[in-house]
Amino acid sequence: MMVANTVPVLMYHHVRPGGGMIATTPEHFEDQLRWLARRDYRTLSTAEFLQHLRQGGAPHRSVLITFDDGYLDNWVYAAPLLRRYGMRATVFIVTGWVGEGPVRPCLDDDAALPETPEHRECERRIEMGRADEVILRWPEIRIMRDRGVMEFHSHTHTHTRWDLRDATIKNTHMREELARSRECLRQHLGEVSDQLCWPQGYFDDDYIRIAREAGFHYLYTTRAFGRNRQGTDPSSIFRFAVRNTGGASFGRRIQVAASPVMAPLFNGWKRWKRGLRYGD
Protein backbone atom coordinates (compact mmCIF):
# COMPACT_ATOMS: atom_id res chain seq x y z
CA MET A 1 0.00 0.00 0.00
CA MET A 2 1.27 3.45 -0.89
CA VAL A 3 1.48 5.75 2.14
CA ALA A 4 1.03 9.49 2.48
CA ASN A 5 3.97 11.82 2.90
CA THR A 6 1.64 14.64 3.93
CA VAL A 7 -1.98 14.57 5.10
CA PRO A 8 -3.88 17.78 4.28
CA VAL A 9 -6.17 19.00 7.05
CA LEU A 10 -9.19 20.87 5.69
CA MET A 11 -10.90 23.62 7.69
CA TYR A 12 -14.60 24.43 7.32
CA HIS A 13 -17.04 26.42 9.43
CA HIS A 14 -20.43 26.42 7.68
CA VAL A 15 -22.22 24.37 5.06
CA ARG A 16 -25.35 26.35 4.25
CA PRO A 17 -27.49 27.53 1.31
CA GLY A 18 -26.22 30.75 -0.16
CA GLY A 19 -22.67 30.33 1.05
CA GLY A 20 -21.33 33.55 2.54
CA MET A 21 -18.45 34.35 4.85
CA ILE A 22 -16.44 31.18 5.71
CA ALA A 23 -19.30 29.11 4.31
CA THR A 24 -19.64 26.48 1.60
CA THR A 25 -22.92 25.76 -0.11
CA PRO A 26 -24.33 22.23 0.20
CA GLU A 27 -23.96 21.88 -3.58
CA HIS A 28 -20.26 22.73 -3.49
CA PHE A 29 -19.66 20.63 -0.38
CA GLU A 30 -21.24 17.63 -2.08
CA ASP A 31 -19.16 18.24 -5.20
CA GLN A 32 -16.03 18.32 -3.03
CA LEU A 33 -16.98 15.04 -1.35
CA ARG A 34 -17.76 13.55 -4.76
CA TRP A 35 -14.29 14.55 -5.96
CA LEU A 36 -12.74 12.73 -2.98
CA ALA A 37 -14.92 9.65 -3.43
CA ARG A 38 -14.21 9.28 -7.15
CA ARG A 39 -10.48 9.29 -6.46
CA ASP A 40 -10.66 6.87 -3.55
CA TYR A 41 -9.59 9.34 -0.90
CA ARG A 42 -9.94 8.32 2.72
CA THR A 43 -11.22 10.75 5.34
CA LEU A 44 -9.27 9.92 8.47
CA SER A 45 -10.39 9.80 12.06
CA THR A 46 -8.24 11.90 14.35
CA ALA A 47 -6.83 8.69 15.84
CA GLU A 48 -5.61 7.69 12.38
CA PHE A 49 -4.29 11.20 11.73
CA LEU A 50 -2.36 11.31 15.01
CA GLN A 51 -0.92 7.88 14.26
CA HIS A 52 0.33 9.36 10.98
CA LEU A 53 2.02 12.23 12.84
CA ARG A 54 3.69 9.82 15.25
CA GLN A 55 4.64 6.95 12.96
CA GLY A 56 3.47 7.66 9.42
CA GLY A 57 1.61 5.02 7.44
CA ALA A 58 -1.59 6.85 6.47
CA PRO A 59 -2.93 5.72 3.08
CA HIS A 60 -1.59 7.70 0.13
CA ARG A 61 -4.85 9.53 -0.53
CA SER A 62 -5.88 10.73 2.92
CA VAL A 63 -7.35 13.94 4.30
CA LEU A 64 -8.67 15.07 7.66
CA ILE A 65 -11.87 17.16 7.46
CA THR A 66 -12.45 19.61 10.33
CA PHE A 67 -15.20 22.06 11.25
CA ASP A 68 -14.81 24.87 13.76
CA ASP A 69 -17.28 26.15 16.38
CA GLY A 70 -20.13 23.65 15.97
CA TYR A 71 -22.81 25.44 13.97
CA LEU A 72 -26.30 24.01 13.48
CA ASP A 73 -25.70 23.72 9.74
CA ASN A 74 -23.08 21.03 10.46
CA TRP A 75 -26.01 18.84 11.57
CA VAL A 76 -28.54 20.03 9.01
CA TYR A 77 -26.38 19.81 5.86
CA ALA A 78 -22.80 18.64 6.41
CA ALA A 79 -23.40 15.43 8.36
CA PRO A 80 -26.05 14.01 5.98
CA LEU A 81 -23.79 14.66 2.99
CA LEU A 82 -20.82 13.05 4.72
CA ARG A 83 -22.97 9.99 5.46
CA ARG A 84 -24.14 9.86 1.87
CA TYR A 85 -20.53 9.48 0.71
CA GLY A 86 -19.35 7.28 3.56
CA MET A 87 -17.03 9.93 4.96
CA ARG A 88 -16.31 11.43 8.34
CA ALA A 89 -15.25 14.72 9.88
CA THR A 90 -14.09 16.27 13.13
CA VAL A 91 -15.81 19.19 14.86
CA PHE A 92 -14.12 21.47 17.37
CA ILE A 93 -16.96 22.73 19.54
CA VAL A 94 -17.23 25.78 21.76
CA THR A 95 -18.70 23.96 24.73
CA GLY A 96 -20.23 27.03 26.37
CA TRP A 97 -22.42 27.62 23.34
CA VAL A 98 -23.93 24.10 23.17
CA GLY A 99 -27.29 23.51 24.81
CA GLU A 100 -29.96 20.87 25.29
CA GLY A 101 -33.25 20.46 23.45
CA PRO A 102 -34.99 18.29 20.89
CA VAL A 103 -33.19 17.09 17.78
CA ARG A 104 -33.95 19.32 14.82
CA PRO A 105 -34.64 18.18 11.23
CA CYS A 106 -31.75 17.62 8.85
CA LEU A 107 -31.30 17.00 5.14
CA ASP A 108 -32.18 13.30 5.58
CA ASP A 109 -35.62 14.12 6.97
CA ASP A 110 -38.90 14.76 5.20
CA ALA A 111 -39.49 17.96 7.15
CA ALA A 112 -38.91 21.67 6.90
CA LEU A 113 -35.28 22.46 7.65
CA PRO A 114 -34.35 24.96 10.35
CA GLU A 115 -32.85 28.32 9.51
CA THR A 116 -29.07 28.30 9.21
CA PRO A 117 -27.96 31.96 9.16
CA GLU A 118 -24.76 33.34 7.67
CA HIS A 119 -21.71 33.76 9.88
CA ARG A 120 -22.12 37.38 11.01
CA GLU A 121 -25.72 36.73 12.00
CA CYS A 122 -24.61 33.66 13.95
CA GLU A 123 -22.09 35.80 15.80
CA ARG A 124 -24.76 38.42 16.54
CA ARG A 125 -27.18 35.87 17.98
CA ILE A 126 -24.48 34.24 20.10
CA GLU A 127 -23.55 37.65 21.48
CA MET A 128 -27.24 38.23 22.33
CA GLY A 129 -27.46 34.96 24.25
CA ARG A 130 -29.33 33.16 21.47
CA ALA A 131 -26.67 30.58 20.62
CA ASP A 132 -29.20 27.74 20.61
CA GLU A 133 -30.70 29.12 17.39
CA VAL A 134 -27.45 28.64 15.44
CA ILE A 135 -25.34 26.10 17.38
CA LEU A 136 -25.54 22.33 17.74
CA ARG A 137 -27.32 20.72 20.68
CA TRP A 138 -25.83 17.90 22.73
CA PRO A 139 -28.38 15.29 21.49
CA GLU A 140 -27.48 16.13 17.87
CA ILE A 141 -23.79 15.86 18.72
CA ARG A 142 -24.29 12.46 20.33
CA ILE A 143 -26.21 11.13 17.33
CA MET A 144 -23.48 12.21 14.90
CA ARG A 145 -20.80 10.74 17.15
CA ASP A 146 -22.65 7.44 17.59
CA ARG A 147 -23.19 7.15 13.84
CA GLY A 148 -19.46 7.57 13.28
CA VAL A 149 -19.94 10.52 10.95
CA MET A 150 -18.39 13.17 13.21
CA GLU A 151 -16.20 13.25 16.29
CA PHE A 152 -15.98 16.16 18.71
CA HIS A 153 -13.11 17.92 20.44
CA SER A 154 -12.46 21.15 22.31
CA HIS A 155 -12.46 24.64 20.83
CA THR A 156 -12.39 26.12 24.38
CA HIS A 157 -15.48 27.08 26.38
CA THR A 158 -16.28 30.61 25.15
CA HIS A 159 -14.09 31.16 22.05
CA THR A 160 -12.75 34.39 23.56
CA ARG A 161 -9.55 36.13 22.48
CA TRP A 162 -8.38 36.93 26.00
CA ASP A 163 -5.14 38.43 24.68
CA LEU A 164 -7.28 41.22 23.20
CA ARG A 165 -9.39 41.68 26.34
CA ASP A 166 -6.68 41.87 29.00
CA ALA A 167 -3.29 40.43 28.13
CA THR A 168 -2.09 40.65 31.74
CA ILE A 169 -4.51 37.92 32.88
CA LYS A 170 -5.03 36.05 29.63
CA ASN A 171 -3.24 32.95 30.94
CA THR A 172 -5.55 32.71 33.95
CA HIS A 173 -8.58 32.96 31.66
CA MET A 174 -7.21 30.31 29.31
CA ARG A 175 -6.67 27.86 32.17
CA GLU A 176 -10.30 28.38 33.18
CA GLU A 177 -11.48 28.02 29.57
CA LEU A 178 -9.76 24.68 29.11
CA ALA A 179 -10.88 23.31 32.46
CA ARG A 180 -14.52 24.23 31.78
CA SER A 181 -14.38 22.82 28.26
CA ARG A 182 -12.98 19.51 29.50
CA GLU A 183 -15.64 19.34 32.21
CA CYS A 184 -18.44 19.89 29.67
CA LEU A 185 -17.12 17.29 27.27
CA ARG A 186 -16.85 14.71 30.04
CA GLN A 187 -20.31 15.52 31.35
CA HIS A 188 -22.11 15.37 28.01
CA LEU A 189 -20.03 12.92 25.97
CA GLY A 190 -18.42 10.86 28.68
CA GLU A 191 -14.89 11.59 27.51
CA VAL A 192 -12.48 14.31 26.50
CA SER A 193 -9.54 13.96 24.13
CA ASP A 194 -6.04 15.43 24.08
CA GLN A 195 -6.90 17.58 21.04
CA LEU A 196 -7.63 21.30 20.98
CA CYS A 197 -8.27 23.92 18.32
CA TRP A 198 -7.34 27.53 19.14
CA PRO A 199 -10.07 30.21 19.01
CA GLN A 200 -9.55 32.44 15.99
CA GLY A 201 -6.19 30.75 15.48
CA TYR A 202 -4.39 32.68 18.22
CA PHE A 203 -1.82 31.04 20.47
CA ASP A 204 1.56 31.78 21.98
CA ASP A 205 4.16 29.89 24.03
CA ASP A 206 2.22 30.47 27.25
CA TYR A 207 -0.95 29.05 25.74
CA ILE A 208 0.87 25.98 24.45
CA ARG A 209 2.30 25.32 27.92
CA ILE A 210 -1.10 25.82 29.56
CA ALA A 211 -2.79 23.50 27.05
CA ARG A 212 -0.24 20.77 27.71
CA GLU A 213 -0.67 21.14 31.47
CA ALA A 214 -4.44 20.77 30.96
CA GLY A 215 -3.98 17.52 29.02
CA PHE A 216 -4.10 18.81 25.43
CA HIS A 217 -1.14 17.67 23.38
CA TYR A 218 -2.35 17.96 19.76
CA LEU A 219 -3.06 21.57 18.91
CA TYR A 220 -4.75 22.63 15.66
CA THR A 221 -3.97 26.02 14.13
CA THR A 222 -5.25 28.16 11.27
CA ARG A 223 -1.75 28.20 9.77
CA ALA A 224 -2.20 27.06 6.20
CA PHE A 225 1.28 26.89 4.73
CA GLY A 226 2.92 23.86 6.26
CA ARG A 227 2.91 20.08 5.93
CA ASN A 228 1.48 17.50 8.32
CA ARG A 229 4.04 14.73 8.07
CA GLN A 230 5.49 12.09 10.35
CA GLY A 231 7.33 14.00 13.07
CA THR A 232 5.42 17.27 12.60
CA ASP A 233 5.29 19.31 15.81
CA PRO A 234 1.97 18.28 17.44
CA SER A 235 1.59 21.77 18.91
CA SER A 236 1.33 23.27 15.42
CA ILE A 237 -0.94 21.21 13.18
CA PHE A 238 -1.51 22.97 9.88
CA ARG A 239 -4.94 23.46 8.32
CA PHE A 240 -6.12 25.36 5.28
CA ALA A 241 -9.55 26.91 4.78
CA VAL A 242 -11.69 25.33 2.07
CA ARG A 243 -13.21 27.86 -0.29
CA ASN A 244 -16.75 27.83 -1.62
CA THR A 245 -15.75 26.22 -4.90
CA GLY A 246 -16.52 23.11 -6.90
CA GLY A 247 -14.72 19.82 -6.71
CA ALA A 248 -12.12 20.51 -9.41
CA SER A 249 -10.70 23.63 -7.73
CA PHE A 250 -10.93 21.97 -4.33
CA GLY A 251 -9.10 18.94 -5.67
CA ARG A 252 -6.23 20.96 -7.11
CA ARG A 253 -5.63 22.55 -3.70
CA ILE A 254 -5.52 19.14 -2.03
CA GLN A 255 -3.16 17.72 -4.64
CA VAL A 256 -0.76 20.63 -4.18
CA ALA A 257 -0.92 20.31 -0.38
CA ALA A 258 -0.15 16.58 -0.52
CA SER A 259 2.63 16.73 -3.12
CA PRO A 260 6.18 16.30 -1.73
CA VAL A 261 7.43 18.47 -4.62
CA MET A 262 4.73 21.12 -5.07
CA ALA A 263 3.80 21.66 -1.41
CA PRO A 264 7.16 23.08 -0.26
CA LEU A 265 7.29 25.39 -3.29
CA PHE A 266 3.71 26.56 -2.87
CA ASN A 267 4.01 27.06 0.89
CA GLY A 268 7.29 28.92 0.54
CA TRP A 269 5.83 31.22 -2.11
CA LYS A 270 2.76 31.94 0.03
CA ARG A 271 4.87 32.70 3.09
CA TRP A 272 7.05 35.01 0.99
CA LYS A 273 3.98 36.87 -0.32
CA ARG A 274 2.58 37.20 3.18
CA GLY A 275 5.90 38.56 4.41
CA LEU A 276 5.83 41.24 1.71
CA ARG A 277 2.27 42.17 2.61
CA TYR A 278 2.73 42.37 6.37
CA GLY A 279 6.43 43.25 6.54
CA ASP A 280 7.39 40.03 8.35
Task: Answer whether 45's CB lies under 8 Å from 88's CB.
Answer: yes
pLDDT of residue 279: 57
pLDDT of residue 51: 97
pLDDT of residue 127: 97
Query: What digits encode the pLDDT tens for the residues 199-209?
Result: 999 999 999 99
Candidates 75, 98, 122; CA nearest to 181 is: 98
pLDDT of residue 274: 73
Q: What are phi and psi of 111, to 5 degrees?
A: -155, 160
pLDDT of residue 277: 63
Start-to-end Cα distance in the chain: 42
pLDDT of residue 273: 77
Query: What digits encode the pLDDT tens for the residues 15-45?
Result: 999 999 999 999 999 999 999 999 999 999 9
Which residues in the chain land under pLDDT 50?
none
Domains, the chain, in order of start with CATH, read 9-278 (3.20.20.370)
Longest dimension (CA), the chain: 54
pLDDT of residue 1: 64
DSSP letter for each residue of 179-201: HHHHHHHHHHHS---SEEE-GGG
Q: What are phi and psi of 126, to 5 degrees?
A: -60, -45
CA angle 69, 72, 78 (to 5 degrees): 90
pLDDT of residue 4: 79
